[in-house]
Chains A and B, each alone.
Chain A
């Protein structure tokens, strides 16, 4: 009610004196509605959070506690053992090498993507040239090509270049996957900084590039961070291409490792699987929460409003 009711509030009292307008029954009904909405909000919250909670909860209990008739909603015996199991690599594949692979590929992808996309976004926003529209169209279309359709040829092409099971190969594929969206989002951010600011700085004596680096670039920093985080999440979570490109145990990334671990231990050790899941989800969740405000607005302004 806040947004619609708040501006109305000053209007409400005068007619109330006349007796026609909101008297106590109406107010009571409004309060009932508020309570109902609050209850729904809490249900939404619980439904959203419960799986995350359940993952962490299960990961902190000894495995035999996961096999009780009535599930334990809090661990009755608190233990880090599942995390030790995961970190010491009791599955078919080791966690730590997979973590290293994931971190390397993800950081490389984000770095390369940000630089390339930043340049492209500048070209598309700050210049008018023939082919600009075609480039924007290409970006949008490439974004729509499903990775599922590309796995066969990507596999073969990388195979031909001896890049299967290599960090470089997967990074290359990820850059291409993340790049279109990154360009598109950054384009939105660059567009958001009016060129007039730069021109004003130039009138005050800045050179063209000086105006850009001193005025526009600092204003873009939040956009770069948000876009970078989005690329990080995409690359960190990507499963299908990693499954196809990095099939060897030593070159697995975390998602592929998690699936292998789950396949190897399923129905016997859910506690350890949940510990592995938690370890994989933590960086993403932390990043997500840190930049969430910018990210939602960035996503909306970049991807939706244009």
Chain B
């Protein structure tokens, strides 16, 4: 909705700058041509508003409208009957009260947060270490590592889960075999997905495997921008590798680290595909659902659209709160 208003406001400053009369659509044509003849930034026949219309329309129709629908629905009694056309009475905050007093919701939320924290920590640590490794490797080995990371990155998430599910298979999985051979302990017929903790271990392995490449490449790209002279000077002054990373590299990469971490938090907190597909391979749904899967189960599988809507609204608020920093930082950089 805001987009529409902004679009309406869009060309006023230009109008003032161009000296033309502000406001009504009728005056737009002449103003545009006058500006096009001289002022920088104008492109004959196209105003920024016109350029933004297609994108804004899509976002209003496919994001804005459903978002409003979601918000309205979260204040309604909305179940199976309503989905088939029965009137949906407004019930105030009933859905929210029900969700927030439901211990299952809190369990799921805490589980999601813990899972997210572990995954982000693992991904960031491994990704940074691999980036540092790539920096120190010769060209051939670096290419090798890059190709490997790219392959992992390129795998569709669902395919990855199914392949890992096969590798972790209880009876014929290659992991049980390798672990038996490598550790000498008998892992034959070890089930990885039945126990919730072990289930999440597998999920963490899958997600980390797929997310590390993005972190590694991004941090590596950042590393190449740390000036060599500064590092050399520090090295000559006797700074060891750890000190150099902490005192020079890290400050240089701080903004990259923050942004990548926030992105990882956002991606890992809302994780759906991996958990959902892994539950389909094995694993107990009630004990392993994260917030995304929980919304799906409550609403689309369980038919409680109102309650699901309330959870969804809460998730949106949580996400936006977390991404506040990312949005602010990005906007600030955009301004400069």
Contact = CB atoms under 8 A, between A and B. Distances in A.
Interface of A: 1-4, 7-8, 37-38, 40-42, 44-49, 51-52, 54-55, 58, 66-68, 70-71, 115-117, 119-120, 122-124, 126-138, 140-142, 144-157, 172-173, 175-176, 179-180, 183, 195, 207-209, 212, 233, 236-237, 239-240, 244, 255, 258-259, 262-263, 266-267, 270, 273-274, 277, 280-281, 284-285, 287-289, 292, 296-297, 299-300, 303-306
Q: Of B66, B160, B280, B316, which is in contact with the most chain A CB atoms at under 10 Å from its CB?
A: B66
Contacts of B59: 138, 142, 176, 179-180
Given A45-B148, A48-B148, A146-B315, A38 B137 contact: yes
Interface string B43-71: 11111110110111011011101110110
Nearest to A126: B41
A157 B300 CA distance: 14
Contacts of B67: 145, 150, 153
A8 B235 contact: yes
B10 interface: yes
Listed residue (B142, B154, B235, B295) with the most chain A CB atoms within 10 angstroms of its CB: B154
A152 B73 contact: yes
A112 B135 CA distance: 39
Given A41-B133, A129-B10, A303-B263, 17 more contacts: A2-B135, A2-B137, A2-B139, A3-B224, A37-B137, A51-B209, A127-B42, A130-B12, A131-B7, A137-B331, A176-B63, A237-B156, A239-B272, A240-B272, A288-B153, A289-B154, A305-B256
B152 interface: yes
Interface in B2-43: 2-3, 6-7, 9-14, 36, 40-43
A280 B156 contact: yes
B163 A208 contact: no
Contact of A209 (B44, B55, B296): B44
Contacts of A273: 162, 166
A209 B43 contact: yes
Contact of B144 (A37, A42, A67, A142): A42
Nearest to B281: A266
Contact of A173 (B3, B62, B151, B277): B62
Contacts of A116: 54-55, 58
A41 B295 contact: no
B201 to A, nearest CB: 16
A284 B210 CA distance: 14
B59 to A, nearest CB: 6
Given A37-B137, A70-B177, A119 B272 contact: no
Most B Cβ at <10 Å: residue of A4, A66, A172:
A4
A48 B172 contact: no
Residue picked from A3, A129, A156, A207, most chain B C-beta under 10 Å? A129
